[in-house]
């Protein structure tokens, strides 16, 4: 894996890589990462079925990648409340995470607007995701996502995400490889 991609993954996807967040989304320029598809293929070959690096869309010279640990994503998406919310928003009612991701990819490809229900896949609080979509509440804070309720709890979560990212970046600066760190997580 290139050092540039390794650093980018650690910075933007550290919480998902270390298993404290359902997933992270990363949007990269194909010009800046010309070998990105090969790097994704390499990572999936090594780390599936534990880690996944899934291309959600590729257009306008950019690539959108969902990075996740399978069990963490299942926990966030396949619970009753989240699944009901997705079904209400047109998703299939199957309890299969890959079927739901496939539908998300379809929404990204065909929708005029960004499918903000993606917050469920990213492990955002469901109440915050719904409030963002409905625009019926005042936003209390903007951090890793817009917060509409339970601010103190979310601030602690955001701090944990930031500490996770910083710890991962520090490990890289000390010579550890991201692949090596991920192998230890399995």
Report how far residue 55's alpha carbon sits from residue 65's, in angstroms, rounded to the nearest whole number: 4
Going by their DSSP bridges, the two strands 62-69 and 146-147 should be labelled as: unpaired
Whether the model clears a pTM of 0.75, i.e. scores above it, the answer is yes
Residue-wise pLDDT tens digits, 4-57: 999 999 999 999 999 899 999 999 999 999 999 999 999 999 999 999 999 999
Residue-wise pLDDT tens digits, 61-112: 999 999 999 999 999 999 999 999 999 999 999 889 999 999 999 999 998 8
**Burial label, 21 (beta-carbon count in 10 A; 0-12, 13-18, 19+):** buried
**Closest by CA position to 53, among listed 75, 29, 35, 36:** 36
Q: Give the start-to-end residue ranges of the domains of the chain.
A: 3-176
């Amino acid at each position: 894996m290139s050092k540039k991609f390794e650093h980018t993954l650690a910075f933007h996807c550290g919480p998902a890589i270390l298993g404290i967040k359902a997933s992270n989304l990363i949007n990269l320029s194909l010009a800046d990462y010309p070998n990105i598809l090969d790097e994704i293929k390499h990572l999936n070959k090594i780390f599936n079925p534990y880690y996944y690096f899934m291309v959600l869309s590729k257009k306008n010279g950019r690539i959108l990648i969902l990075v996740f640990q399978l069990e963490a994503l299942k926990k966030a998406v396949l619970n009753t409340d989240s699944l009901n919310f997705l079904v209400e928003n047109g998703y299939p009612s199957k309890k299969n995470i890959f079927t739901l991701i496939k539908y998300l990819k379809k929404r990204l490809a065909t929708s005029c607007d960004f499918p903000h229900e993606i917050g469920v896949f990213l492990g955002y609080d469901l109440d915050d995701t719904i409030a963002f979509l409905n625009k019926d509440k005042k936003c209390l804070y903007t951090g890793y996502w817009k917060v509409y309720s339970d601010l103190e709890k979310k601030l602690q979560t955001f701090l944990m995400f930031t500490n996770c990212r910083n710890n991962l970046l520090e490990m890289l600066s000390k010579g550890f490889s991201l692949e090596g760190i991920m192998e230890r997580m399995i």
